[in-house]
Structure 1
Amino acid sequence: MYVHVNAATSADGKLASRERSQLRISGPADFDRVDAIRAESDAVAVGVGTVLADDPSLTVKDEDRVAGREADGLSPHPARVVFDSRGRTPTDAAVLDGAATTYVLVAESASVEHREALAAAGAEVVVAGTDRVDPAAGVAALADRGVDRLLVEGGGELIFSLFEAGLVDELTVYVGAMVVGGRDAPTLADGDGFVDSFPGLSLESVERLDDGVLLGWGVEGRSDGGTDA
């Protein structure tokens, strides 16, 4: 599977404010770029923290792109994926609106009650891990369900876990013209952080976009990293 991580950060690397409130970091050109990447993906993934904070729909917005997917024999929108160890996704979340298949990846530790509620709300609940969702097991389960290209849109905990597991092929980051600050504000890759064996990146592209800059990297050690942009 090809895993593409895409995010927008402030100039100081923040995804959101210390209150975890959603920020409008990029502009129309970058929104359209992300929509195009979604349309080319088999599934779009986020962590449960993003669902709780932003309630995204993760669907393709441009009608021509939706029509193009249908003309190619695909569903109108890519599948949605939530990495959600404890099954905290609200049953009325936008990702469960029925517009596309939604996989909620949970750990065995998630309560049966939560799993059943999510299934009743329309999610396909997938157990991948014991105490927490195991990223490799989750990605493998998605591959078994026909996902060949996965777009990951955050947040920082999920992005770190995917890098830690060595699963990321490509990283694109839109860096916006603002400074957020705050030691408690989420960054591109949170989690425990690396102290050695830092994942290496190979800069593939630099593009000025809106009021910021778009950076594209391939990930060293991945055989196809950066080649399928």
Structure 2
Amino acid sequence: MYVVVNAAQSVDGKLSTRRREQLAISGAEDFDRVDRIRAAADAVLVGVGTVLADDPHLTLDEEARRVERLRNGRAGNPARVVVDSTGRTPLDARILDDAATTYLLLSEAASSDRREALAATGATVIVAGDDRVDLADGVAALADRGVDRLMIEGGGEVIFSSLAAGIVDELQVYVGSFVVGGREAPTLVDGAGFVESFPQLRLTDVDRLDDGVVLSYAVETAREQE
């Protein structure tokens, strides 16, 4: 499976404010770039924090791209994946509608009642991990279900877990031309952080869009270095 992480941040690396409010970091040109990446993916993955904060739909914006996917024998929209260790996804979340297939990656910490309630919405529930979702196992389960190209859209906790699991092949970051600040504001990579072994990146492209830049990196994971 090929995994690409895409995110937008301020110059100081913030994904949103300390209030966890959604920010319009980029503009129309970058929105179209993100839509192209989604259209090329078999599935789009976010963390439950993103679902709770933004209630995203994660479907394609451009109808022409949906039509092209259908012509190629694919679903009109890529599948949607939520990393949700304890099953906090609201039952009325937009990501659980019938616009696309939805996978929920839960851990053993999610109660059986919660698993059943989420499965009753039509989502496919995958249990991977004990107290927290094991992303390597979860991604392997998605691969078994035909996901060959996965787009990860964050947030910072999921991006950290993805890099820590060594599953990321590519990182694309839009950097907007403003500063947010705040020690409690979420950053591009949150989680526990790396203290000894750090993921190594190789810059492959720089592209100016709107009033910012897109930095593209190949991720030199431990898996690749072995």
TM-score (norm 2): 0.97
Q: Check conservation: 2:82, 2:105, Cα contact below 8 A.
A: yes
SS of 1:65's equivalent in the other structure is: helix
Aligned length: 225
The whole-number CA distance in structure 1 between the counterparts of 2:223 and 2:128 is: 25
The whole-number CA distance in structure 2 between the counterparts of 1:221 and 1:6 is: 17
The whole-number CA distance in structure 1 between the counterparts of 2:220 and 2:134 is: 22
Matched letter for residue 161 of structure 1: S
Q: Does 1:117 align with 2:117?
A: yes
Match of 1:198 in 2: 198
SS of 1:196's equivalent in the other structure is: coil
1:224 is displaced (CA, Å) by 8.1
Matched letter for residue 130 of structure 1: D
1:113 is displaced (CA, Å) by 1.4
Consecutive unaligned residues of structure 2, counting only runs of 5 or more, are none
1:47 is displaced (CA, Å) by 0.2
The whole-number CA distance in structure 2 between the counterparts of 1:132 and 1:90 is: 18
- Provide the identity percentage: 66
Match of 1:133 in 2: 133
Match of 2:216 in 1: 216
The whole-number CA distance in structure 1 between the counterparts of 2:10 and 2:129 is: 33
Consecutive aligned runs of 4 or more in structure 1 exceeding 6 Å deviation: 222-225
Cα RMSD (Å) = 1.3
Match of 1:97 in 2: 97
The whole-number CA distance in structure 1 between the counterparts of 2:98 and 2:212 is: 35
Q: Check conservation: 2:168, 2:221, Cα contact below 8 A.
A: no
Matched letter for residue 112 of structure 1: S
SS of 1:159's equivalent in the other structure is: helix
1:178 is displaced (CA, Å) by 1.2
Alignment of 1:39-188 (within 5 A): 39-188=39-188
The whole-number CA distance in structure 2 between the counterparts of 1:222 and 1:85 is: 25
Q: Check conservation: 2:95, 2:102, Cα contact below 8 A.
A: yes
Q: Check conservation: 1:169, 1:224, Cα contact below 8 A.
A: no
1:221 is displaced (CA, Å) by 3.8
The whole-number CA distance in structure 1 between the counterparts of 2:203 and 2:88 is: 36
The whole-number CA distance in structure 2 between the counterparts of 1:24 and 1:85 is: 28
1:71 is displaced (CA, Å) by 0.2
Match of 2:24 in 1: 24
Q: Check conservation: 2:41, 2:78, Cα contact below 8 A.
A: yes
Matched letter for residue 29 of structure 2: A
Q: Check conservation: 2:84, 2:106, Cα contact below 8 A.
A: yes
SS of 1:208's equivalent in the other structure is: strand
Q: Deviations over 1:36-83 (max 9, x none)?
A: 110000000000000000000000110100000000000000000000
SS of 1:154's equivalent in the other structure is: coil
SS of 1:92's equivalent in the other structure is: coil
The structure-2 alpha-carbon separation of the partners of 1:107 and 1:221, relative to structure 1 and needing over 3 Å to count, comes to: closer
The whole-number CA distance in structure 2 between the counterparts of 1:221 and 1:139 is: 16
1:222 is displaced (CA, Å) by 7.0
1:223 is displaced (CA, Å) by 7.9
Consecutive unaligned residues of structure 1, counting only runs of 5 or more, are none
Q: Does 1:35 align with 2:30?
A: no
Matched letter for residue 41 of structure 1: A
SS of 1:33's equivalent in the other structure is: helix
TM-score (norm 1): 0.96
Q: Check conservation: 1:169, 1:222, Cα contact below 8 A.
A: no
Matched letter for residue 110 of structure 2: A
SS of 1:216's equivalent in the other structure is: strand
